[in-house]
């Protein structure tokens, strides 16, 4: 039942939050709800009880579709990430006021419910439902609150992902009619399919384009920097910490195991695209003057490495992707929180207008530097473990691709450290002269993240153990072909 | 049979009401009661209870599909009258007549859903069309309305002519009007000792003309040119009726015609001489989707956008004719419900607006939150977003096409157009919620109107989660 409640709590909390008018009430209510979800997610990590981790209800029996949810290692981890992120987002932005707070927090909770469903669904039609349901609140969140160009930018984001989803729907229906007997939408039925090479090629592209847009990997990434820049930072956190993980998760769960022959055929292409994306995004990030755009491009680079490691198909690499999904979520959350704290205080995110902040805001500076190190994947931070494993996998696949991808770490150092330098060191500008240190709520949120970063940097074993079952079943499934 | 006769009786009764009942406000209540009776009569027939026993000599036949569609059409009309009854009153002076004409249209729909004979098809189409010509021009002092009515009449008469020509050719080829006989007729039995091929040619020509003529009624491209002008010119309440219930009825007629054909041998003979109906429908679908979606993007008026959107939706409904399997027949029923309900809702709100342009909707989310919220649900349904009935409508259409296993490019093209359609539907949402402005309504909507809209939205969401609830009626 845990699986079911992980979705129901944010769903109902979200529906209730619409009717809360006061800002404090809406914040408090959603904070309570998100802590309840977090408690449940932590419980699920330690649970081995089959009844708690699986749920199966009748939905559309005549069509062969069930409301079935399941939690394996990867799902547990992402559900945990999803559950950790929302309270941290709410705490770190506790001092911000949004117009129509009831609606804002309601949509945030609904989005969390939708994404939770994506991570839990083990029926393709249900998966499609949640995939879209996560998108609709995101659309309204990005369009109602945010920068000046938000409406056209969000619209591009929506149409892009919607087109991808519809292609995936074709793929789902295509596989549905390949299942034997009374057709079925169940994930296991898709795993049991023995498709020919040509059939797999078609299905693969139908699914993969949807996921590639969501991740996003080069050249499907153009919606991402604009959307991240224009949305309110709290929403950007949801998008980049969790929503992009939907794409990676979906490739591992719905794409690679179902179409192994097609993956074997197109892996080179995807790895090359991913590596191009890594270098391309890193180079653009170096030239950015806007903090949010820089983080957006840096995020594309990190996602590119994950995608390359998945398609390299080696155990170490896949294990790295698993833990890096979590770690990247944590690190990027921290970066956005700092970006939001700076923007709230100074009303700008431009490096050219900032500088010398370290003297005025030492706490923020210390916490941010840890985040920055994690973004460069320095040893002792959590990202190091993940990136090391991923590069290891990529190296086993093709050493040239790995060598090019490793350059990205140098580039990451270049743009991340220059960001630290431009914001926190150098001359104080007019704006930063009167700077205050960050608020307690921001510090608390960041401190929690720093603890997580250092803990999993030193001792990543729990995370690896949690997800190793998924990696093993995945590799076993691919081998059956 | 119940629906055909009852609708005429109620229509005539309403005609006399206009003489004997002085209070104009009561007409819409009488009409609602009439519709409830009609609905009850039709549901009774679904359960095998028929009020009238008339030997039609096989010209009409009743099956679940037709009867269930009748129920959908009558129920949708009831919802339409309940929501927009006041606005129908406002069209002009002869209030009762508008309702009478709507009942006569329903009679035509009842014939179209049960015809078994090409003559009945012709009668049904005419009984359906003539009241519509009048309704289109019912706003007598408005030049646009007059122009629309005349255009519709001229074009409609022309398409009727084509239909008659087609029926004549088919009769010449097979010697029968009965749709089961004409399709089953194997070529050797062709009349007058004509050769196999020439019979097939005549029959194909006849079917093509019928396809053009019904394609005109459902505004499939390239026979759609009347649609935007007529929908734009007619009073908005009437457009709502034409674009939903009437259009879907055209599809039912279309499907009955080609469904019978699938069982016959004529499809095989057509292939012998190289005519592939699937390809033909695929081309029509692509044209319809292209014209509807791309032109809708450039509209400035929501009403005209909805006219093109109805063409675009017709493109999706044509998938049922393309694939012609069991999923398609279920799907067209779901589609007709999802599309009709959402469009009726959108038009009910549109009629209340002062300004029909997109700018006219700016800030509706603030001034009329209920209207804006329900309108959003209706628009999401038309765009085919999950959790709304519109998703399953599109889902079944795609499913039926993929089930045929061929023409996958057609399905991919269709979803690209579906993504384009998001552009113009979401423009309304953007105007309502994200743009500043104070959208003005003609008069403050009443409480019952708001509750009606909320109920309609709830129905759409319910069918969006449990489409089987709808289909279980089909297999009652």
Q: What is the DSSP string of A348-375?
A: --BGGG---HHHH-HHHHHHHHHHHHHH
Cα B2–chain centre separation? 21
The two tokens of residue A437 are 């240190």
For B416, which of A60, A136, A163 is closest by C-beta distance? A163
The two tokens of residue B446 are 């009443």
Contacts of B387 in chain A (CB under 8 A): 129, 132-133
Beta carbons of A162 and B419 less than 8 Å apart: yes
List of residues 6+ apart from B116 with CB closer than 8 A: B58, B59, B60, B61, B178, B179, B180
Domain count, chain B: 1
The two tokens of residue A78 are 């992402």
- Stretches where chain A sits below pLDDT 50 are none
Residue B198, pLDDT score: 66
Q: Is residue B257 a part of any domain in this protein?
A: no
Cα A113–chain centre separation? 14
The two tokens of residue A97 are 């006021």
Q: CB–CB of B343/B306 below 8 Å?
A: yes
Angle, helix A382-397 to helix A440-458, in steps of 10 degrees: 50
Q: Is residue B244 a part of any domain in this protein?
A: no
Beta carbons of A62 and B468 less than 8 Å apart: yes
Q: CB–CB of A336/A295 below 8 Å?
A: yes
The two tokens of residue A261 are 């022959």
Which of B323, B384, B415 should one mutate to test binding to chain A, selecting the residue with the greatest count of A CBs within 10 A? B415
CA distances from B122 to A39, A142, B115, B233, B253 (A): 67, 52, 9, 26, 10
The Cα A79–Cα A69 span in angstroms is 12
Interface residues from chain A to B (CB-CB < 8 Å): 60, 62-63, 128-129, 132-133, 136, 140, 143-144, 150-151, 155, 158-159, 162-163, 166-167, 169-170, 173-174, 176-177, 202
Beta carbons of A155 and B426 less than 8 Å apart: yes
- Residue B398 sits at the chain A interface (C-beta within 8 Å): yes
Q: Is residue B107 a part of any domain in this protein?
A: no
> Judged by CB atoms within 8 Å, which residues 414-473 of B form the interface with A?
415-416, 418-419, 422-423, 426, 430, 433-435, 466-468, 471
Residue B195, pLDDT score: 62
HSE-CB at B304 with a 13 A cutoff on CA atoms is 16
Quote the minimal CA–CA distance from B415 to chain A in Å: 6
The two tokens of residue B328 are 């398609």
- Residue B369 sits at the chain A interface (C-beta within 8 Å): no
Beta carbons of B415 and A128 less than 8 Å apart: no
Q: Model ipTM?
A: 0.91
For A173, which of B380, B399, B418 is closest by C-beta distance? B399
Contacts of A151 in chain B (CB under 8 A): 430, 434-435
Which of A150, A169, A183 should one mutate to test binding to chain B, selecting the residue with the greatest count of B CBs within 10 A? A169
Based on DSSP, count helices (H) and strands (E) in chain A, helices before strands.
22, 2
Q: What is the DSSP letter of A443?
A: H
Beta carbons of A136 and B466 less than 8 Å apart: no
Handedness of CA A44, A50, A52, A55 (dihedral sign): positive
Q: Which residues make beta-bridge pairs with A186?
A: A123
Quote the minimal CA–CA distance from A137 to chain B in Å: 12
Q: Is residue B413 a part of any domain in this protein?
A: yes
Q: Is residue B191 a part of any domain in this protein?
A: no
Q: Which residues make beta-bridge pairs with A68?
A: A56
Q: Is residue B29 a part of any domain in this protein?
A: no
Three-state SS for A184? coil
Residue B441, domain extent: 276-476
Closest chain A residue to B433, measured at CA: A144
Contacts of A128 in chain B (CB under 8 A): 386
The Cα A115–Cα A94 span in angstroms is 23
Handedness of CA A384, A214, A415, A350 (dihedral sign): negative
Ordered per-residue pLDDT tens for chain B, 476 residues? 888 999 999 999 998 888 888 888 888 899 999 999 999 999 998 888 888 888 888 888 888 888 999 999 999 999 999 999 888 888 888 888 899 999 999 999 999 999 988 999 999 999 999 999 999 998 888 888 999 999 999 999 999 999 999 999 988 887 888 887 776 655 554 455 556 666 677 888 888 899 999 999 999 988 989 999 999 999 999 999 999 999 999 999 988 888 877 666 666 666 666 777 888 899 999 999 999 999 999 999 999 999 999 999 999 999 998 888 888 888 999 999 999 999 999 999 999 888 888 888 998 888 888 999 999 999 999 999 988 999 999 999 999 999 888 888 999 999 999 999 999 999 999 999 888 888 888 888 889 999 999 999 999 999 999 888 888 877 65
Question: Kindly report the CA angle at A111 between B462 and A209, in degrees rounded to 5?
Answer: 90
Nearest to B138 by CA among B1, B246, B235: B235
Beta carbons of B386 and A128 less than 8 Å apart: yes
Q: Is residue B313 a part of any domain in this protein?
A: yes
The Cα B171–Cα A118 span in angstroms is 57
For B3-59, give the DSSP string.
Answer: HHHHHHHHHHHHHHHHHH---THHHHHHHHHHHHHHHHHHHHHHTT--S-----TTS
Q: Is residue B132 a part of any domain in this protein?
A: no
Cα B327–chain centre separation? 19
Nearest to A456 by CA among A339, A365, A370: A370
Contacts of B361 in chain A (CB under 8 A): none
Quote the minimal CA–CA distance from A177 to chain B in Å: 7
Residue B268, pLDDT score: 65
Residue A283, pLDDT score: 92
């Amino acid at each position: 039942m845990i699986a079911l409640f992980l979705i129901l709590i944010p769903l109902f909390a979200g529906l209730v939050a619409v009717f809360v008018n006061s800002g404090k009430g809406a914040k408090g209510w959603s904070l309570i709800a998100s802590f309840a979800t977090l408690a449940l997610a932590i419980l699920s990590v330690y649970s081995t009880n089959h009844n708690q981790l699986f749920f199966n209800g009748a939905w559309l029996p005549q069509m062969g579709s069930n409301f079935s949810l399941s939690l394996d290692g990867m799902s547990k981890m992402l559900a945990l990430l999803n559950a950790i992120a929302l309270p941290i987002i709410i705490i770190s932005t506790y001092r911000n006021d949004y117009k129509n707070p009831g609606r804002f927090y309601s949509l945030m909770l609904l989005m969390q419910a939708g994404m939770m469903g994506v991570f839990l669904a083990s029926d393709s039609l249900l998966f499609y439902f949640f995939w879209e349901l996560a998108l609709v609140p995101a659309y309204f969140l990005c369009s109602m609150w945010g920068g000046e160009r938000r409406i056209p930018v969000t619209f591009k984001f929506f149409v892009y992902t919607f087109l991808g989803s519809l292609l995936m729907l074709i793929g789902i229906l295509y596989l549905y009619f390949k299942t034997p007997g009374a057709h079925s939408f169940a994930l296991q039925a898709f795993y049991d399919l023995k498709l020919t090479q040509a059939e797999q090629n078609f299905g693969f592209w139908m699914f993969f384009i949807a996921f590639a847009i969501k991740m996003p990997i080069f050249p499907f990434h153009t919606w991402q920097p604009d959307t991240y820049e224009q949305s309110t930072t709290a929403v950007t956190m949801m998008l980049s910490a969790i929503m992009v993980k939907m794409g990676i998760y979906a490739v591992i769960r719905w794409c690679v195991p179902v179409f192994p022959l097609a993956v074997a055929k197109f892996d080179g292409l995807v790895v090359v695209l991913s590596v191009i994306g890594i270098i391309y995004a890193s180079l653009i990030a170096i030239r950015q003057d806007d903090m949010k755009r820089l983080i957006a491009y840096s995020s594309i680079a990190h996602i590119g490495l994950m995608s390359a490691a998945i398609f390299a198909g080696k155990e170490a690499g896949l294990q790295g992707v698993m833990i890096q999904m979590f770690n990247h979520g944590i690190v990027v959350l921290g970066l956005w929180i700092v970006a939001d704290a700076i923007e709230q205080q100074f009303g700008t995110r431009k490096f050219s207008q900032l500088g010398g902040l370290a003297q005025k805001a030492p706490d923020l500076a210390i916490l941010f530097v840890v985040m920055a190190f994690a973004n460069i994947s320095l040893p002792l931070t959590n990202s190091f473990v993940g990136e090391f494993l991923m590069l290891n996998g990529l190296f086993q696949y093709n050493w040239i691709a790995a060598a090019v991808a490793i350059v990205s770490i140098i580039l990451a150092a270049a743009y991340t450290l220059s960001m630290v330098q431009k914001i926190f060191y150098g001359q104080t500008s007019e704006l930063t002269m009167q700077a205050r240190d960050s608020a307690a709520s921001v510090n608390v949120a960041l401190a929690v993240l720093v603890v997580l970063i250092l803990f999993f940097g030193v001792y990543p074993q729990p995370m690896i153990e949690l997800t190793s079952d998924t990696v093993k079943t995945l590799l076993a499934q691919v081998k059956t072909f | 049979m119940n629906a055909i006769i009852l609708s005429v009786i109620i229509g005539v009764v309403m005609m006399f009401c206009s003489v004997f009942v002085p209070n104009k406000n009561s007409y819409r209540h009488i009409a609602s009661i009439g519709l409830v009776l009609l609905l009850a009569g039709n549901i009774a027939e679904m359960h095998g209870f028929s009020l009238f026993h008339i030997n039609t000599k096989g010209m009409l036949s009743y099956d679940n599909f037709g009867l269930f569609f009748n129920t959908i059409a009558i129920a949708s009309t009831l919802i339409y009258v309940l929501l927009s009854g006041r606005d129908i009153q406002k069209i002009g002076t002869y209030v009762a007549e508008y309702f009478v004409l709507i009942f006569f249209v329903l009679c035509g729909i009842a014939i179209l859903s049960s015809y078994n004979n090409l003559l009945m098809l012709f009668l049904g189409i005419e009984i359906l069309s003539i009241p519509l010509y009048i309704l289109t021009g019912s706003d007598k002092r408005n030049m646009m309305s007059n122009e629309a009515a005349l255009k519709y009449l001229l074009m409609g008469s022309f398409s009727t002519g084509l239909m008659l020509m087609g029926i004549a050719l088919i009769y010449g080829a097979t010697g029968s009007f009965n749709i089961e006989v004409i399709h089953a007729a194997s070529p050797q039995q062709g009349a007058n000792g004509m050769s196999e091929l020439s019979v097939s040619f005549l029959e194909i020509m006849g079917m093509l003309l019928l396809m053009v003529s019904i394609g005109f009624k459902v505004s499939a491209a390239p026979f759609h040119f009347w649609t935007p002008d007529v929908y734009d010119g007619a009073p908005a309440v009437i457009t709502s009726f034409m674009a939903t219930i009437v259009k879907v009825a055209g599809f039912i007629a279309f499907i009955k015609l080609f469904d019978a054909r699938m069982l016959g041998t004529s499809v095989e003979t057509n292939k012998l001489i190289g005519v592939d109906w699937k390809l033909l429908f695929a081309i029509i679908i692509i044209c319809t989707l292209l014209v509807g979606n791309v032109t809708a993007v450039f509209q400035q008026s929501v009403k005209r956008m909805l006219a093109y959107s109805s063409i675009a939706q017709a493109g999706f409904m044509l998938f049922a004719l393309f694939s012609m399997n069991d999923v398609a027949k279920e799907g067209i029923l779901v589609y007709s419900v999802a599309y009709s309900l959402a469009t009726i809702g959108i038009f009910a709100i549109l009629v209340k607006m002062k300004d029909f342009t997109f700018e006219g909707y700016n800030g509706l989310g603030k001034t009329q939150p209920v209207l804006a919220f329900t309108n959003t649900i209706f628009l999401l349904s038309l765009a085919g977003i999950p959790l709304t009935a519109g998703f399953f409508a599109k889902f079944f259409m795609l499913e039926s096409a993929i089930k045929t296993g061929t023409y996958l490019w057609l399905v991919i093209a269709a979803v690209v157009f579906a993504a384009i359609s998001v552009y113009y539907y979401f423009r309304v949402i953007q105007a309502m919620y994200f743009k500043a402005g104070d959208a003005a309504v003609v008069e403050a909507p009443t409480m019952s109107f708001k509750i009606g809209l909320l109920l309609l939205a709830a129905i759409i969401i319910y069918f969006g989660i449990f489409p089987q609830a709808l289909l279980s009626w089909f297999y009652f």
